[in-house]
Amino acid sequence: EALERIEALEPKLHSFLCVTADRAIEQAMAVDAKIAAGEEIGLLAGIPIAIKDNMCTKGIRTTCGSRILENFVPPYESTVTQKLMDAGAVMVGKTNMDEFAMGSSTETSAYQLTANPWDLERVPGGSSGGSAAAVAGGECLVSLGSDTGGSIRQPASFCGVVGLKPTYGLVSRFGLVAYASSLDQIGPFGTTVEDTAIFLGAIAGYDPKDSTSLNVQIPDYAKNLKPNLKTRGVLRVGVISETFGQGLDPAVEKAVTKAIEVLQELGAEIHVISCPRFRYGLPTYYIIAPSEASANLARYDGVKYGLRTTDADNLLTMYTQTRAAGFGTEVKRRIMLGTYALSAGYYDAYYLKAQKVRTLIKQDFESAFEKVDVLVCPTAPTTAFKAGEKTEDPLSMYLSDLMTIPVNLAGLPGLNVPCGFDEKGLPIGMQLIGNLLREDQLFHVAYAYE
Ligand code: GLN
């Protein structure tokens, strides 16, 4: 069914960079054979899933949305995709994304534009736009994305699906192509909170292959879902005051305010919380993320992976020509920004300063979580915008992640829950932010709300 749906919709949506139909049918038949033989099947047996194209899949091309990895076929499997395969999931394909996960609309992909299933002229958000559109369009049941500054939550919000950025370290990054290593985290998309919770359970857990992986007990997220918000006593929800007002689309403000009222009706205690340093998240991120990216992307030199230009007559020219031809504009912009911020004489003024502000942002969250259990705000300031609308103006594009970025800087979990539509019929999302490793609480609130 998923493959049929892909065949029907892909000419319009372009969510996938590659569809692995033959392999999917083979995997599905292997599940059937197991059932017929009375063997035990995994938790996700036969579930059609899609994977963002920045997670390595052994023997299947992994491009990261970039020309520089156009012909890169990983010789190994990422931990997350291995876990999903072990649980019996059936991968139907790899999804489109902004090049190296740098973007908010999936338009920086070197290959194709992905359409928003709710309005084909609009973007699906990004950078995990393909994964969000694939779930929203019914081309798979659940999918994986990665989120460095909002790349799961913002496209989930634009496409009207559930999307979670887990606590930093909860899900292994082994086999995830690195963008900004201290912020990157893999997470699930689903159409319901329950699906998303089940999917997180399947990918979370300690991995010795990732040095930042947390060695913690993983709760049964799905089993603990209860429709009544009050089953765990009074739940205190903090509304981040700085996220309302200027720059916020009135339709988004209205829908999120309404959703907060619903939470109150369900029995939550609503508090207004100030995170005064929240607004420094964006400038802080645009120092830290490009800095880390400039180091991580140094490995694409034409020697180890993918593309290599052939007409250079010496090594240095080969490096520069390969990188000039292989990287797109946004990636080059960030490599230059990051290289500059890290250069001798500027390190203290930019990178070190940004790290200090990062600590202050974290402290705002810490004091908020002394007063409340969960924080709430809009996921994005607007609903999905038209393709091409922001491509010429990177700063307006960067503003899409105003409300999601601080969560990555603090390493916290953040969940997008659909909460209505604007006057054009485009989905709106609210973001629930939890304390470290309190994904269970986010699911609890979202499930009661849903
Ligand atoms: N949109 C943000 C950026 O362009 C966040 C991307 C992400 O989370 N990978 O960097």
CB neighbourhood size of 227 (10 A)? 10
CA of residue 103 to ligand 1 center, whole Å: 5
Token couple for 146: 């990665």
Q: Among residues of the chain, what percentage have pLDDT more than 90?
A: 96
Q: Where on the phi/psi map is residue 169: left (φ > 0), alpha (ψ -120 to 50), or beta?
A: left
Marked catalytic residue, from 104, 105, 109, 151 = 151
Which residue, 419, 400, 448, is CA-closest to 155?
Answer: 400
Rounded CA gap, 156 and 135, in Å? 9
412 CA → ligand 1 middle, Å: 16
Mean pLDDT, to the nearest integer, of 260-273?
97
151: annotated active-site residue: yes
Query: pLDDT tens-digit profile of 293-340?
Result: 999 999 999 998 889 988 899 999 999 999 999 999 999 999 999 999
Listed in sequence order, the residues at least 6 apart from 70 whose beta carbon sits closer than 8 Å to its beta carbon are 63, 110, 306, 307
Burial class (CB in 10 A: 0-12, 13-18, 19+), 73: middle
Which of 104, 287, 379 most suits a substitution to test ligand 1, by most atoms within 8 Å of the C-beta?
104
The residue-averaged pLDDT of 175-184 equals 98
User: Can 127 be counted among the known catalytic residues?
Assistant: yes
Residue 247 has pLDDT above 90, yes or no: no
Q: What is the pLDDT of residues 88-138, one digit of tens each?
A: 999 999 999 999 999 999 999 999 999 999 999 999 999 999 999 999 999
Tokens representing 437 are 């490793």
User: Atom 10 in ligand 1: which residue has the minimum CA distance?
Assistant: 102
Q: Is pTM beyond 0.90 here? A: yes
How many CA atoms does the CB half-sphere of 369 hold within 13 Å?
18
Ligand 1 shell residues, CB under 6 Å:
101-104, 127, 147-151, 179, 289, 401
Cis peptide upstream of residue 343 (ω within 30 degrees of 0): no
What 3-state DSSP class applies to 207?
coil
Stretch 36-53: mean pLDDT:
96
Q: Is the interface score ipTM higher than 0.90?
A: yes
Say whether 181 is catalytic: no
Q: Which of 66, 104, 105, 127 is catalytic?
A: 127
Q: What is the whole-number distance in angstroms between the Cα of residue 162 and the centre of ligand 1?
A: 18
Q: Supply the pLDDT for residue 368.
A: 98
Q: Tokens 């604007």, residue?
A: 422
Cβ count near 37 (within 10 Å): 7
Q: What is the pLDDT of residue 310?
A: 85
Report the pLDDT value the prediction gives residue 428, as an integer from 0 to 100.
98
* Domains, in order of start, for the chain: 2-203 (3.90.1300.10), 236-278+358-449 (no CATH), 283-348 (no CATH)
Atom of ligand 1 nearest to the CA of 183: 8
Tally Cβ neighbours within 10 Å of residue 86.
12
Amino acid at 134: A
Please report the DSSP string for 350-407 in residue order. IIIHHHHHHHHHHHHHHHHHHH-SEEEEESSSSSPPBTTSSTT-HHHHHGGGTTTHHH
To test ligand 1's pocket by mutation, which of 53, 105, 127 has the most ligand atoms within 8 angstroms of CB?
Answer: 127
Catalytic residue among 52, 83, 94, 390: 52
3-state SS assignment for residue 148:
coil
147 CA from centroid of ligand 1 (Å): 7
Phi, psi of 188 (to 5 degrees): -95, 155
**Is 79 buried (19+), middle (13-18) or exposed (0-12) by CB count in 10 A?**
buried
Mean per-residue pLDDT of the chain: 97
Instruction: Tell me which of 151, 179, 385 to substitute to probe ligand 1's pocket, judged by most ligand atoms within 8 Å of the beta carbon.
Output: 151
**Ligand 1 atom nearest residue 334's Cα:** 10
User: Residue 135 contacts by C-beta under 8 Å, 6 or more apart in sequence?
Assistant: 50, 141, 142, 143, 159, 161, 189, 190, 191
Total residues belonging to the chain: 450
| pLDDT for the residue 205 | 98
Per-residue pLDDT of 349-384, as tens digits, reads: 999 999 999 999 999 999 999 999 999 999 999 999
Position 224 pLDDT exceeds 90: no
Count other C-beta atoms under 10 Å from residue 324's C-beta.
10
Ligand 1: centre distance to CA 149 (Å): 5
Contact 153, 418 (CB under 8 A): no
Question: Which amino acid is present at 43?
Answer: L
d(CA 231, CA 235): 9
**pLDDT at position 304:** 86
pLDDT on residue 366? 98
- Confidence check: pLDDT of 232 > 90: no
The atom of ligand 1 lying closest to the CA of 148 is 8
Query: Among 299, 344, 271, 414, which residue's Cα sits nearest to residue 66?
Result: 299
